[in-house]
Amino acid sequence: MSDNNSRRRFLLGTAGLAATSAVAGMAGSSSGAQASVAPGASTSAGGGGDAKRAITLASRRRLGSLKVSSIGLGCQTMPGNLYGPVSSRENMVAIIRTAVDQGVTLFDTAEVYGPLESERILGEALRPVRDRVVIASKFGFEVDQQTGERGGLNSRPDNIRRSVDGMLRRLRTDHIDLLYQHRVDPQVPIEDVAGTVKELMAAGKVRHWGLSEPGLKTIRRAHAVQPLTAIQNEYNLLWRGAEDQVLPLCQELGIGFVCWAPLAYGFTTGTINPYTRFARGDFRAVVPRHSRENMAANMAVVQLVQEWAVRKGVTSGQLSLAWLRAQKPWIVPIPSATRTSHLLENIGTEEVTFTGDELQQFTTALNAIEIQGERLPAPVLAQTGVEAPMP
């Protein structure tokens, strides 16, 4: 059997399993999406099924002047305290190294993921291949650099410098490729933030910078002081708020766009549903759109995705990521993965394309579905779209 035919078999096999997962899992509980093991797959130390002939991610995209793989790897869930426990720290390191081997170059983390632990995991995993990858991390909160105890927002210049020095130690590197302000601090002018980052760039500690979930005016003001490389916002089939103003502004200014939660916390993969019971401590349990009533209404999106996934011989997750990638050539999704099988499935999205007619048909059907429920808990939602104060 040829490699292409073997890959096709993998996609069809996982697509079929994904299409039935919403039914098969009705009475189950979930601390995360469960992997579909493809025909001919083997179980690895990464905690899931690995396709024997996994695709190598070859395509690249530009975030501003920064070239990265067209799909990145989000490392937020790897400490095991966001979507529930993970298999082991060693397996997370192995998954990151597999991602490198399969062509992923963009790895996304943050000071508060863990806190601190996600950066430590990433630093250990990428140290042998540091010159082959792009590391993105984020500052913006008060975090004790020893204990990881987290406080509120803090983007004062001294805290930014302290945060970056801590990142460099944990990531075992001398520079951060892409440094984001995690959330806009309503007490600190963005000019002060941008000026501090500019100084860090001059010192060689930072190479590019960006903002996550900022206000529109803040984007323009920040970009005027030190040009931004990327904006990182939530963007997926359930939340498309960036389309109204943020994406047009990115296009105007030549800024790339990185999608966090590109699979809507696993919802568009079909692995969670109104009957899902999340593990204790799973962040998804407190997301308003995950109430039983809202999820029941939003299952129309899952049904649409699954129908198209079967039609195209791919998985629901791949269909979801492919739709995002089709929107703009400077959009890069960063799905998380704590199982090797999930990682390989996500990378396989590179082979999934839409014709112009297919993209229009799918998007028209998606537009007809009214999404129910807020995308984040109220306190977290209040930190999005914030405008920084004037100097």
The residues that are catalytic are 113
- Helix 157-171 vs helix 190-202: angle between axes, to the nearest 10 degrees? 40
Tokens of 291: 């109430």
Q: Give 197's DSSP letter.
A: H
Tell me how far CA of residue 153 lies from CA of 25, 112, 142, 225, 251, in angstroms: 39, 11, 6, 22, 29
Q: Give 205's DSSP letter.
A: S
Q: Give 55's DSSP letter.
A: P
Which candidate, 18, 104, 90, 14, places its Cα nearest to that of 59?
A: 104
Beta bridge partners of 68: 61
Please name the residues in contact with 329: beta carbons below 8 A apart, sequence gap of 6 or more: 61, 62
> Is the torsion defined by CA of 158, 162, 163, 167 positive or negative?
positive
Q: Hunting for tokens 């004790």 — which residue is that?
A: 144
